[in-house]
Amino acid sequence: MSHTFFIAFSYILTALVVIGLILRAVIDHRIQVRALAELEARGIGRRSRRG
Amino acid sequence: MIRDLANPTRFMSLSGTLLPWVGGLAALLMAAGLSMVWFTAPADYQQGETVKIMYIHVPAAWLSLFFYMIMASSALGTLVWRHPLADVSQKAAAPIGAAFTLICLVTGSLWGKPMWGTYWQWDARLTSMLVMLLIYLGILALWRAIEEPNRAARAVSILTLVGAVNVPIVKFSVDWWNTLHQPASVFRLGGPTIHSSMLVPLLVMAAAFTLLGIALHLSGMRTEILRRRVRTLTILEAERLDAQAA
């Protein structure tokens, strides 16, 4: 195999892992924001503990 | 400063302001670093163009140790000072550190094949780095195994501090043992041994990776704080439903 293969594979793999980390961060954040908004829409808030 | 950030609401506000700047700077530095690597950095006189793997392998190795040190100091924050954000920081750092350790191992292997004639050698540096990945995976598994966040944080903190023994072993393995892996050539007494035409792009890439890692860590911490709020409110809702049913 040529050296180009090893270089290209290294950069492609790194790009995929970094993109994966970024996507995971964005998607996970959105899921939590949505879940929090749904709970608050149902009237479940920290202040509701007192009531 | 650290005490001020103990308030998650204040942390969310400050990190929300910082995150776009850190992420944007990381993207700019990554673009600058990659253009230097591909258009100005020379080929090595022995390795040829394969040296380009160094510009991702070395920053990934640096971030692997960097995130372990973040986890170890956060573990102390959890066990000694009981800082409310320390375990949030620990939990957010683990997958990022594991991912960069994986990049380091795979790119090192892909660099090793054309240079050493083998993908893998059980030498001290490679083996200690593999142990580092296994510790990261163990920590990730432990976070998932214990549901209650405070109990999980204490268990993970102990494992993290025990695993911290491996950090100096990774760093100094090339000095303590005869290894196929080359000795340190950037962070060493006596200064770097790399020519500036390669050192500058390497440092730019290292800075870009570090800022990217910090941005991911801030983002991960913000998400973890939200996840805990969701968990608290879900428990609260269940308690309210139980009370209504009773």
Taking the C-alpha atoms of residue B181 and residue B2, their distance in angstroms, rounded to an integer, is: 39
Residue of B nearest to A9 (CA): B110
Domain locations in chain A? Answer: 3-42
Side-chain half-sphere exposure of B236, counting CA atoms within 13 A: 19
Residues on chain B touching A47 (C-beta within 8 angstroms)? none
Q: DSSP secondary-structure letter at B191?
A: -
The complex's ipTM works out to 0.88
Confidence of residue B213 (pLDDT cuts 50, 70, 90): very high
C-alpha dist (Å) from residue B8 to A47, B5, B84, B149: 17, 7, 8, 15
Residues 6+ apart with CB under 8 A from A3: B48, B49, B50, B114
Residue B189 pLDDT level (bands cut at 50, 70, 90): low
User: What are residue B44's DSSP bridge partners?
Assistant: B48
Whether B113 and A6 lie within 8 Å, measured CB to CB: yes
Q: Give CA–CA dist B232/B106, Å, rounded.
A: 40
What pLDDT, on a 0 to 100 scale, did the predictor assign at position B133?
A: 97
Query: Residue A10: which of B95, B110, B219 has the nearest Cβ?
Result: B110
Q: With a cut of 50, say whether residue B241 has pLDDT above it.
A: yes
Rounded to a whole number, what is the distance in Å from the CA of A25 to chain B's nearest CA? 6
Digit-coded pLDDT (tens) for B51-75 = 999 999 999 999 999 999 999 999 9
Q: Do A28 and B237 touch (CB under 8 A)?
A: no
What integer pLDDT is reported at residue B43 of this predicted model?
A: 81
Least CB–CB distance from A6: residue in B53, B60, B96:
B53
Mean pLDDT over B5-33 rounds to: 91
Question: Which residues are CB-contacts of B212 (< 8 A; sequence separation ≥ 6)?
Answer: A18, B23, B26, B30
CA dist list (Å): B161 to B68, B71, B136, B191, B197? 10, 9, 12, 30, 39
Residue-range domains of chain B with CATH: 22-174+194-218 (1.20.120)
Predicted confidence (pLDDT) at residue B206 exceeds the cutoff of 80 = yes
pLDDT interval class at A50 (50, 70, 90): very low
**Nearest Cβ partner for B102 among A6, A17, A24:** A17
The residue written with tokens 């992420």 in the block is: B23
